[in-house]
A and B are shown apart, each in its own frame.
Chain A
Amino acid sequence: MLPIRILTAVPICDGHDSAINTINLEFIRHGVEVIYLGFHRSAKDIVRAAIQEDVVAIGLSTYNGGHIEFFGEVIDLLEQRCPAPPIKLFGGGGGTITQEDAQIMYGHGVDRIFFAGTPLDEMTKYLRSAYGAIAQSPYDSEFAGSDQFLSRQLTLADDGSGLSPQASETAWAGDKPVRGTRVIGLTGPGGAGKTTLIDELVLRFLRSHAEDQRVAILSHDPSIVGSGALLGDRATMIYSQHDRVFMRSVGTRGMAGGLSLSTDRCLKILAESNLFEFILLETVGTGQEAIPFGIDKLVVDLSVLVMPPDYGSRLQLQKIAMIDVADVIVVNKADLQGARTAVAEIESRIRTNRKGQRLLHTQANRHRDSGVDQLFELLFTDPETNTNTGTGTNTGTPQ
């Protein structure tokens, strides 16, 4: 059985995340998969994420007022999408939500408000009893081509049981030409900045590609079988909160190597949906031995290894298996000490490999970073027109 999957967030123009951080940890401890969207999030962003993640409930923690309107807006947006079963909305705000407020909010369709002083275990108990047994069955074909249709397919694929081939076929968006969706895999140790890099690449995609073109992100976070997980990649993303981006967070549920048991099935569904130009596949933070995409690149069209400059000694570098396999190696955080050493060491390593691997250095946390621009060019332009087969690095040295 799958864990309960919920989404938590703090509303727009509110940064009070102390309570939600504590509550998230408590939920996870009790086996809930929590997709945390972060603070200062609009109703639109929250509903989009809830649909794409196919959660059974949304939990909002609000502290600086306007909750009646905000919860109401979330309910309205949810109703427009007609998710089945309906996504439940619960929340709390210490003493800022009064009993009278709660009555109004219940009238709008809010499922449950937790008042000041509610013990944490009372919340988790409620979660279990109210959201623990919600069945999610496939959507009718009239929903084909929609995000919720797709996300339900992913849910059923994740379960490992419910994916019917017919369901996958109906996802084909009518008679549109089949897109040559390119799958780009990004892997690397935890803290290398993969999520930030993906978000920056998405920004460039949104700006350079036509309005009807979309990108999907399949993001993995570690989890243990039968227990909860915090799927938090969305919380640090800025530009990927966009209708042209479909993002799905996946817990690995005990599988080693960086991906989940259902990754293959999910990728297939995403590719066959014919909705996306690109799929960005992000692994969990990986260890030295990981080769998550397979040696013969069975899973992705292009593989990218994102490295922080502080991987340790040259000897440690030799141990990283992915360096021999990745198409592109990125030294991110190029502003940190050791970045020049890292670039030099990796460059000489891939020169010995003689596989035409590319090396770039980026500083993804910098606005308009030219390294990210070059990476985007490399990954998102047609391979036919991008036939640089030699080993190359981007010009200049890290600052």
Chain B
Amino acid sequence: MTSLGQVVLAIEKYRRFVLDETRKARTNEEFGQQILQRWQEAKAGIGTTLTPTGLRLPRLALPDLDEAGEIARFLCEEGLPGEFPFVTAAYPEQYLEPAPTSSTDNENRRNGDKTVVEEPTRLFAGLGLAEDTNARFHYLSRNQRSKRLSTAFDGPTLYGVGAGAGGVFGKIGEGGVAIDTVEDMERLYAGFALDQPNVSVSMTISGPAPILLAMFLAAAKHRFGPDVGAKLRGTIQADVLKEVQAQNELIFPIEPSLRFLADMVDYSCREMPRWYPISISGYHIAEAGATPVQQAAYTLSNGFAYVDYFRNRGLDVNVFGPRLSFFLDCGLDVEYIALARVCRKIWAIGMREVFGGGNRAQILRLHTQTSGRSLIAADWRNNLTRTALELMLACMNATNSCHSNSADEPFTTPSEEYARYAAHAQAILLEESGLFKHMMNTLPGSPGMKVVGNAVEEAILEEFREIEQQGGVIGAVARRYQRSQIQASGHRLESQIYDGVRPVIGLNRYCDQGRDWPEVRMIRTPKEKKQLQQDRLQDFEKRHAGESERCLNRLSDVVESGGNVFEELTHTVEHCSLGQITERLCEVVGKFRPMV
């Protein structure tokens, strides 16, 4: 049995445990009294808040229970925010405005490793060359207390191909930023105090992730000194399994990809303790057509596969466990009412029961993005409404950070105008509206949310059992199981839209606007900039020609001898470009054979 099979057993056992505790609270008087007492204490510890209209509310809403059995069920099944199994939220007062009393310090300490109260807003940006994206970052974060930068890379960078390679000229700086060298990386985050706790950086890249993170570290050292690693905050996606299953941006075969990843995780846990070296991602799985259940099941099972792999490498689950983060899509299907809640529960139980993870390793830290696939070109301003609804669902699921899509995304890299609307949508929801800022649990706990949650949980377990049958995650990947399921779901979704079974307003229903095209200005990278990127790369490679071959040879040696490849990359990037490094690594470990 693989660890995934053990997770299934652990969840089943936990369900029995909930029933047993409920029964015990009803039949064993002493235990029942303990439960009632705990409930009274929990309620007594809840502070209050005053709304702008003068209404006093508790900072946490709890169900109105007075029977020990139901209380026991609630505490075991959902738990309080920030407590096992973390169904309602990862942290106790996640979205709340700080309490205006001296208890603020206490509350923040209870937030675990969240020492700064941050807005969940984290907007994805990337266009043109490094300096263009840098300017966009400054624009987007100008009003934020915390600077949370999220970076999209262009196609050549995602595939580890240099800007000078044949046939990629048109792709330079399109759909993301072009990064070829450590010098580009310095330009990308110029002007941001990366060594300060209120700045964090996210990089959405998987195939060449270790090379890019090595560049980021090297660039930060140039600016902030050799010890800056310990201060750097952020996340790099580095999810190679979902690349195989859905997104197709993998460079090396699975085995060496996992090894390079483990090297990076090992290093960053030691030297960059505030960094999240992987973001286990369902977003691209969902965007490729997966159902919400498939998204959750494949993402969680990939997560457990990584934990298993890192553990077998000798890494400590309580060291790397708290440094894992998750990334999910949020669309309009009803499952999204409870999807992230179920994910947090399954993760917590699996990490505790199967892998022996402590409290911090049990928490599923979640970044959510609203569904890009749900946005359409026809009557495109409706996309504002779609995104707003998805954002609401994501916050009801207590996501820890969120990206809301721009309405013009079906056409182009978001324009500044629509990127602003997208950011403001979050501020309207979390700051302007009273839904989330006064009280935790304002919306969770409805009968519908529970019913959907239970159905989703069972469906996820059913997927786990199927994957287990195929020899676990890696075995199922080799058999193209997840891929084929995702593709079949994607095809079904398209058919449903074309047949009109699935209403899409403006596309197959109420199409009174016809094929309306936006007035948005297309964001394209001009030829001169593409040329500049090529020239810069050429110049870098020329300046380092004396060193690069020696560095690449040393890198090859480390790969062959089984050393830590990431550690070596932090030196390699000083003299070698992304394209040079990728090419060399492919020679040593081979190329990923595409699955179709």
Q: Tell me the A residues contacting B by CB distance below 8 Å.
A: 11-18, 21-22, 25, 36, 38-40, 42-44, 63-70, 73, 94-96, 98-99, 115-117, 119-120, 196, 199, 232, 235-236, 238, 365-368
State which of A14, A39, A98, A117 has its C-beta within 8 Å of the C-beta of B522: A98
Bound together, the chains give a CA A103 to CA B201 distance in angstroms of 39
| Contact (Cβ within 8 A) B175 A236 | no
Bound together, the chains give a CA A11 to CA B175 distance in angstroms of 14
| Contact (Cβ within 8 A) A235 B596 | yes
Specify the chain B residue showing the minimal Cβ separation from A72: B170
Bound together, the chains give a CA A178 to CA B163 distance in angstroms of 43
| Contact (Cβ within 8 A) B490 A21 | yes
Bound together, the chains give a CA A116 to CA B591 distance in angstroms of 33
Known: A13-B155, A117-B515, A367-B253. A40 touches B594 (CB 8 A): yes
Interface residues of B in 147-180 (CB under 8 A from A): 154-156, 158-159, 161, 166-172, 174-176
State which of A16, A25, A44, A232 has its C-beta within 8 Å of the C-beta of B596: A232
| Contact (Cβ within 8 A) A116 B174 | no
Residues of A within 8 A of B596 (CB): 17, 21, 36, 38, 232, 235-236
Residues of A within 8 A of B410 (CB): 94-95, 116
Specify the chain B residue showing the minimal Cβ separation from A119: B498
State which of B166, B380, B490 has its C-beta within 8 Å of the C-beta of A44: B166
Chain B interface residue count: which class?
35 or more
Bound together, the chains give a CA A21 to CA B494 distance in angstroms of 11
| Contact (Cβ within 8 A) B490 A42 | no
Residues of B within 8 A of A368 (CB): 590
Bound together, the chains give a CA A96 to CA B377 distance in angstroms of 10
Bound together, the chains give a CA A69 to CA B412 distance in angstroms of 17
Known: A38-B596, A96-B412, A116-B410. A25 touches B491 (CB 8 A): yes
CB distance from A272 to the nearest CB of B (A): 33
CB distance from A332 to the nearest CB of B (A): 13
Bound together, the chains give a CA A7 to CA B253 distance in angstroms of 26
Residues of B within 8 A of A199 (CB): 593
Bound together, the chains give a CA A119 to CA B498 distance in angstroms of 7
Bound together, the chains give a CA A264 to CA B297 distance in angstroms of 49
| Contact (Cβ within 8 A) B171 A64 | yes
| Contact (Cβ within 8 A) A117 B593 | no
CB distance from B25 to the nearest CB of A (A): 47
Known: A42-B167, A235-B594, A236-B596. A365 touches B253 (CB 8 A): yes
B589 at the interface (CB under 8 A from A): yes
Q: A12-B161, A236-B596, A368-B590 are in contact. List 9 more A-B contacts (CB 8 A).
A: A12-B159, A13-B155, A13-B158, A14-B171, A38-B594, A65-B175, A70-B170, A73-B170, A96-B411
Bound together, the chains give a CA A116 to CA B412 distance in angstroms of 13
Bound together, the chains give a CA A43 to CA B171 distance in angstroms of 13
Bound together, the chains give a CA A73 to CA B167 distance in angstroms of 8
Q: Tell me the B residues contacting A by CB distance below 8 Å.
A: 154-156, 158-159, 161, 166-172, 174-176, 247-249, 253, 255, 287-289, 376-378, 380, 410-413, 487, 490-491, 494, 498, 507, 515, 517, 522, 524, 589-591, 593-596
State which of A65, A96, A232 has its C-beta within 8 Å of the C-beta of B170: A65
Bound together, the chains give a CA A284 to CA B320 distance in angstroms of 46
| Contact (Cβ within 8 A) A66 B248 | no
| Contact (Cβ within 8 A) B411 A98 | yes
State which of B171, B255, B494, B517 has its C-beta within 8 Å of the C-beta of A12: B171
Known: A13-B158, A25-B491, A94-B410. A64 touches B174 (CB 8 A): yes
| Contact (Cβ within 8 A) B247 A15 | yes
Closest 4 CB pairs of A and B: A69-B170, A65-B174, A367-B590, A66-B170
CB distance from B272 to the nearest CB of A (A): 28
CB distance from B453 to the nearest CB of A (A): 28
Bound together, the chains give a CA A274 to CA B589 distance in angstroms of 35
Supply 7 A–B pairs (Cβ within 8 Å), ascending by A.
A12-B171, A17-B596, A39-B594, A64-B175, A66-B169, A94-B377, A96-B411
Residues of A within 8 A of B176 (CB): 64
CB distance from A173 to the nearest CB of B (A): 28
| Contact (Cβ within 8 A) B595 A367 | no
| Contact (Cβ within 8 A) A116 B487 | no
Residues of A within 8 A of B154 (CB): 13, 64-65
CB distance from B21 to the nearest CB of A (A): 41
Bound together, the chains give a CA A196 to CA B167 distance in angstroms of 26
Bound together, the chains give a CA A169 to CA B491 distance in angstroms of 47
Known: A66-B174, A94-B410. A13 touches B168 (CB 8 A): yes
| Contact (Cβ within 8 A) B594 A69 | no
Bound together, the chains give a CA A115 to CA B498 distance in angstroms of 15
Bound together, the chains give a CA A196 to CA B522 distance in angstroms of 42
Residues of B within 8 A of A95 (CB): 377, 380, 410-412
CB distance from B111 to the nearest CB of A (A): 38
Residues of A within 8 A of B413 (CB): 65
CB distance from B126 to the nearest CB of A (A): 11
Residues of A within 8 A of B376 (CB): 116-117
Residues of B within 8 A of A66 (CB): 155, 168-172, 174
Bound together, the chains give a CA A36 to CA B248 distance in angstroms of 15
Known: A12-B168, A367-B590. A17 touches B248 (CB 8 A): yes
Known: A13-B161, A95-B377, A95-B410. A22 touches B491 (CB 8 A): yes
Bound together, the chains give a CA A98 to CA B408 distance in angstroms of 12
| Contact (Cβ within 8 A) A40 B159 | yes
| Contact (Cβ within 8 A) A238 B591 | yes
State which of A99, A119, A196 has its C-beta within 8 Å of the C-beta of B517: A99
Most A Cβ at <10 Å: residue of B154, B287, B590: B590
Residues of B within 8 A of A63 (CB): 175
Residues of B within 8 A of A238 (CB): 591, 593-594
Specify the chain B residue showing the minimal Cβ separation from A121: B498
Bound together, the chains give a CA A298 to CA B466 distance in angstroms of 45
CB distance from B142 to the nearest CB of A (A): 27
Residues of A within 8 A of B524 (CB): 65
| Contact (Cβ within 8 A) A67 B170 | yes
Residues of B within 8 A of A15 (CB): 158, 247-249
Bound together, the chains give a CA A94 to CA B287 distance in angstroms of 14
Bound together, the chains give a CA A94 to CA B494 distance in angstroms of 13
State which of A12, A13, A17, A117 has its C-beta within 8 Å of the C-beta of B507: A117
Known: A196-B593, A236-B593. A18 touches B167 (CB 8 A): no
Residues of A within 8 A of B594 (CB): 38-40, 235-236, 238
Most A Cβ at <10 Å: residue of B158, B289, B594: B594
CB distance from B408 to the nearest CB of A (A): 9
Specify the chain B residue showing the minimal Cβ separation from A199: B593
CB distance from B329 to the nearest CB of A (A): 13
| Contact (Cβ within 8 A) A70 B593 | no
Specify the chain A residue showing the minimal Cβ separation from B247: A15
| Contact (Cβ within 8 A) B169 A69 | yes
Residues of B within 8 A of A14 (CB): 155, 171
| Contact (Cβ within 8 A) A12 B167 | yes
Specify the chain A residue showing the minimal Cβ separation from B410: A95
Residues of A within 8 A of B255 (CB): 366
Specify the chain A residue showing the minimal Cβ separation from B243: A15
| Contact (Cβ within 8 A) A18 B378 | no
CB distance from A347 to the nearest CB of B (A): 25
Residues of A within 8 A of B380 (CB): 95
Residues of A within 8 A of B377 (CB): 94-95, 115-117
Most B Cβ at <10 Å: residue of A68, A96, A366: A96
Bound together, the chains give a CA A22 to CA B488 distance in angstroms of 9
| Contact (Cβ within 8 A) A21 B491 | yes
Specify the chain A residue showing the minimal Cβ separation from B492: A22
| Contact (Cβ within 8 A) A21 B487 | yes
State which of A13, A43, A44, A98 has its C-beta within 8 Å of the C-beta of B159: A13
Known: A115-B515, A236-B595, A238-B591. A68 touches B170 (CB 8 A): yes
CB distance from A115 to the nearest CB of B (A): 7
Bound together, the chains give a CA A99 to CA B596 distance in angstroms of 31
Specify the chain B residue showing the minimal Cβ separation from A99: B517
Specify the chain A residue showing the minimal Cβ separation from B494: A22
CB distance from A251 to the nearest CB of B (A): 17
Bound together, the chains give a CA A70 to CA B167 distance in angstroms of 7
Most B Cβ at <10 Å: residue of A12, A39, A68, A232: A12
